[in-house]
């Protein structure tokens, strides 16, 4: 038996084969499917009388083996099935390349292996058609490899462009951004994204990485410098706010309400201008500052409430005086009326202040009564000329008396009594002026 002889056991291993239709490419003769050899093996070969098996080729017949195990037709069918096995392998390569499921490089290797083996393959079938089919596979594999190369190059360009964009973004952020936390987070995200980008050649990748690292280091230096300056500023702010707190605490016991309240407002302005201290210290200092401020204004509110209650009571007392003054009748006894008015004025001044919104109302009512008495006095002056000089002297004496009282009260630091005496002196000056006018017009 020759090296191409086969046995019944070989036949059992080969089996009957399978038929796989090749993919058709219109207008491409090489894409025509290879006929199934086992259907009509006699078209492609023969077995002679001594059992030698031949296959037909373009160059004539070629011996592919020997068959001694049975009928010649069985031997021919056996070698045709071997052809179909090779054909099936080639058609599988065509199918995978057509659907994109196959690896062009692997298809190229397999097709070349088949092509190299066809010259002495122990098969019976249309070797010429199969050879063209293999060439078709090689051409499609070459196209696939070229496309893969182009895709790989395109992917490389895309990866380079993506990393270039990441580097440029990082450089912009590093040179311009002052959003320290947001930018720090973004640079970390860029680094994470950077790690996912593949396919960049080593040289380009190293160049881009150096730029990215330089940008990140520059940002970290700027951020470090910023926070160092901020720490210094916060240290200065802490010292300044400590001074403001100490002054605010010293003012708590002041009862000079107006100026002290104004100073607290100024302190608040200075506090805001001082800037932020370290958070923990800033919060503690603010609590002390607010506590001092609240304590002072609570005391002031309490004092104002007491004062308001006192002023309200004073207003009630002055209303009672007005009711009493309304009973003065200067037409019956002018001197008695003047004395009654004088006493009421003294009591009025002694009562003290009233709520601001009541001042005009109450003073206006008293002034009306004073005008009524003064009008009666003026009328009497005009009727009693002999007494005019005496009245002038008397009024001048009263003016001097109240002026002396005012001067004495001011010297003693009693502002309220000084104001009361001055008010009375003013009233008597008006009467003096009227008396002097009456004398001069006689």
pLDDT digits (tens, 9 = 90+) for 117-134: 988 899 999 999 999 999
Q: Which pLDDT score, from 0 to 100, does residue 135 have?
A: 92
Residue 56 β-bridge partners: 61
Residues 412-432 pLDDT 10s: 888 888 888 888 889 888 888
Longest dimension (CA), the chain: 188
With vertex at residue 434, the alpha carbon angle to CA 431 and CA 437, rounded to the nearest 5 degrees, is 150
Which tokens is 383 given?
Answer: 């009727």
29-57 mean pLDDT: 82
Q: Which pLDDT score, from 0 to 100, does residue 354 have?
A: 84
Residues 197-244 pLDDT 10s: 888 889 999 999 999 899 999 989 999 998 898 889 888 998 998 998
The highest-confidence range among 3-17, 19-33, 350-364, by mean pLDDT, is 350-364
Residue 65 β-bridge partners: 53
Residues 359-406 pLDDT 10s: 898 889 888 888 888 887 777 666 656 566 777 888 888 889 888 988
Does residue 370 contact residue 377 with C-beta atoms inside 8 Å?
no
Is the pLDDT assigned to residue 284 strictly greater than 80?
yes
Q: Which pLDDT score, from 0 to 100, does residue 87 have?
A: 92
Across the beta sheet with 60-66, what order do the strands follow?
A: 45-47, 52-57, 60-66
pLDDT-above-90 percentage for the chain = 27
Nearest Cα to Cα of residue 398 among 365, 368, 432, 373: 432
So where are the chain's domains? 8-152, 159-231, 233-301, 326-440
Is the pLDDT assigned to residue 263 strictly greater than 80?
yes
Question: Which band of pLDDT confidence, cut at 50, 70 and 90, is reported for residue 439?
Answer: low
Question: Which band of pLDDT confidence, cut at 50, 70 and 90, is reported for residue 290?
Answer: very high
Residues 130-176 pLDDT 10s: 999 999 999 999 988 888 888 888 888 888 999 899 999 999 988 88
Overall size of the chain counted in residues:
442
Does residue 254 contact residue 260 with C-beta atoms inside 8 Å?
yes
State the Cα–Cα distance between residues 84 and 19, nearest whole angstrom: 7
Cα dist from 35 to 44, 50, 79, whole Å: 10, 28, 15
pTM: 0.43
293-310 mean pLDDT: 85
First to last CA, the chain: 179
Does residue 293 contact residue 248 with C-beta atoms inside 8 Å?
yes
Of 212-221, 273-282, 329-338, the least confident: 329-338
State the Cα–Cα distance between residues 324 and 123, nearest whole angstrom: 147
State the Cα–Cα distance between residues 150 and 157, nearest whole angstrom: 10
State the Cα–Cα distance between residues 77 and 39, nearest whole angstrom: 9
Residue 46 β-bridge partners: 54
Residues 239-261 pLDDT 10s: 998 998 998 988 888 888 889 89
Backbone angles phi, psi at 64, to 5 degrees: -120, -10
Question: Which band of pLDDT confidence, cut at 50, 70 and 90, is reported for residue 46?
Answer: very high
Residue 57 β-bridge partners: 60
């Amino acid at each position: 038996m020759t090296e191409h002889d086969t046995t019944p056991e070989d036949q059992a291993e080969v089996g009957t084969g399978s038929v796989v239709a090749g993919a058709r490419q219109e207008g491409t003769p090489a894409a025509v499917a290879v006929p199934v050899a086992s259907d009509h093996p006699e078209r492609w070969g023969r077995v002679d009388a001594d059992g030698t098996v031949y296959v037909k080729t373009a160059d004539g017949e070629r011996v592919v083996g020997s068959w001694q195990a049975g009928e010649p037709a069985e031997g021919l069918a056996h070698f045709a099935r071997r052809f179909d096995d090779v054909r099936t392998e080639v058609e599988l390569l065509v199918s995978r390349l057509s659907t994109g499921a196959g690896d062009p490089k692997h298809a190229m290797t397999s097709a070349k292996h088949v092509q190299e083996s066809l010259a002495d393959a122990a098969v019976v079938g249309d070797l010429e058609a199969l050879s063209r089919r293999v060439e078709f596979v090689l051409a499609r594999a070459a196209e696939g490899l070229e496309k893969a190369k182009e895709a790989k190059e395109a992917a490389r360009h895309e990866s380079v462009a993506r990393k270039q964009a990441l580097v440029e973004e990082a450089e912009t952020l590093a040179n311009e951004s002052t959003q320290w936390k947001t930018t720090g987070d973004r640079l970390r995200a860029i680094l994470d994204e950077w790690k996912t980008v593949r396919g960049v050649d080593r040289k380009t990748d190293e160049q881009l990485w150096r730029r990215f690292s330089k940008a990140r280091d520059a940002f970290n230096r700027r951020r470090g410098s910023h926070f160092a300056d901020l720490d210094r500023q916060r240290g200065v702010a802490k010292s300044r706010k400590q001074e403001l707190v100490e002054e605010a605490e010293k003012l708590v016991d002041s009862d000079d309400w107006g100026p002290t309240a104004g100073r607290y407002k100024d302190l608040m302005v200075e506090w805001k201008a001082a800037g932020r201290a370290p958070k923990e210290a800033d919060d503690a200092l603010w609590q002390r500052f607010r506590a001092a401020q609240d304590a002072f204004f609570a005391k002031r509110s309490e004092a104002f409430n007491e004062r308001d209650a006192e002023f309200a009571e004073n207003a009630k007392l002055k209303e009672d005086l007005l009711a009493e003054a309304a009973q003065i009748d200067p037409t019956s006894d002018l001197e008695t009326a003047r004395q009654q008015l004088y006493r009421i004025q003294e009591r009025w001044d002694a009562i003290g202040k009233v709520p601001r919104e009541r001042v005009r109302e109450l003073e206006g009512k008293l002034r009306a009564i004073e005008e009524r008495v003064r009008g009666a006095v003026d009328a009497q002056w005009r009727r009693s000329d002999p007494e005019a000089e005496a009245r002038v002297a008397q009024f001048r004496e009263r003016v001097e008396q109240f002026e002396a009282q005012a001067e004495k009260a001011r010297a003693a630091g009693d502002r309220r009594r000084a104001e009361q005496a001055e008010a009375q002196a003013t009233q008597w000056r008006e009467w003096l002026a009227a008396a002097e006018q009456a004398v001069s017009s006689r």
